[in-house]
């Protein structure tokens, strides 16, 4: 027992220094329907040794499991915070915000599912504590703890190809071929497409909307976000269309898209 405890003391500092590599320097470039499963498997293999060692530390001192896991989560998030504080790397706030979003997406789409995938005794508790510690540091950047199966189900629902109106109407139970989406699409394909800046606005929307929707989905805040978007923007837009106030609808819709681009993609 004494030898095991000695090894545990030696192992923990190594874990605390190694665990930031689970996030730092990582990207979500392979977060696509075609590549996600294989990329998650590779990622899981890459970090497995760290988490096997973390499990061993907790097994050696079960009464200190939460303390050990909080130390590990703290070390990871402290490294993220230190990286974001680097003036040389991120001179503008926008650059730091984009990097924070990248780190969050790595945690949501890779680290959390990978830890669940390992099915360790600490898996559930680690992800729970990591989520708590993240929210303490960045309360305005919430995320949902998800498994590989939940993300795969999201790919099957095609939210990664979904547009804002589809996502909102789908959440509210309005069918894809229903009245509301038909009206919005007709507005887009007729009035908006005929405006001088219309094609540019439509193209920009197509390029950014799926990324916005995926972030809204993974934030775990959909039950608050989607009704708010409907009440604040889309229901008034629909009323504008019904009344023939098409220019007002355009202004309102552009305002919504710009606000979401700024909030979720940090675009000016």
Contact of 178 with 232, CB cutoff 8 Å: no
Task: Dig out the tokens for 245 from the structure.
Answer: 């106030």
d(CA 202, CA 188): 8
Q: Are 111 and 103 in contact (CB under 8 A)?
A: no
Mind giving me the DSSP string for 158-182? TGGG--HHHHHHHHTT--TTSHHHH
Q: Tens digits of per-residue pLDDT, 139-170?
A: 988 888 999 998 887 766 555 456 899 889 98
The count of other CB atoms within 10 Å of the CB of residue 253 is 24
pTM, entire model: 0.69
Paired tokens of 157:
């629902």
pLDDT digits (tens, 9 = 90+) for 81-118: 999 887 666 666 577 887 888 899 999 999 999 999 99
3-state DSSP call for residue 26?
coil
| pLDDT attached to residue 191 | 93
Give 60's pLDDT tier (boundaries 50, 70, 90): very high
Of 4, 24, 39, the residue nearest 152 (C-alpha)? 39
């Amino acid at each position: 027992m004494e030898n095991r405890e000695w090894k545990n003391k030696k192992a923990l500092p190594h874990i605390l220094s190694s665990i930031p590599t689970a996030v730092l320097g990582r990207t979500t470039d392979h977060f696509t329907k075609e590549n996600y499963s294989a990329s998650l498997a590779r990622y899981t293999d890459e970090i497995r040794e760290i988490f096997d060692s973390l499990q061993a530390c907790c097994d050696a001192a079960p009464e200190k499991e939460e303390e050990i896991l909080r130390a590990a989560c703290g070390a990871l998030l402290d490294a993220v915070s230190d990286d974001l504080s680097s003036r040389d790397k991120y001179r503008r706030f926008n650059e730091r915000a984009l990097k924070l979003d990248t780190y969050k997406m790595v945690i949501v789409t890779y680290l959390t599912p990978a830890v669940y995938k390992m099915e360790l005794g600490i898996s559930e508790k680690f992800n729970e504590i990591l989520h708590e510690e993240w929210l303490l540091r960045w309360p305005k950047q919430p995320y949902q703890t998800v498994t590989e199966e939940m993300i795969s189900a999201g790919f099957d629902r095609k939210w990664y190809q979904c547009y804002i109106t589809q996502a909102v109407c789908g959440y509210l139970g309005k069918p894809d071929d229903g009245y509301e989406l038909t009206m919005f699409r007709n507005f887009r394909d007729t009035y908006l497409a005929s405006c001088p800046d219309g094609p540019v606005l439509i193209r920009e929307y197509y390029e950014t909307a799926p990324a916005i929707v995926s972030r809204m989905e993974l934030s775990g805040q959909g039950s608050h976000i989607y009704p708010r978007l409907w009440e604040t923007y889309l229901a008034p837009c629909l009323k504008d269309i019904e009344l023939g106030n098409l220019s007002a609808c355009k202004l309102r819709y552009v305002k919504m898209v710009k606000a979401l681009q700024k909030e979720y993609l940090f675009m000016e």
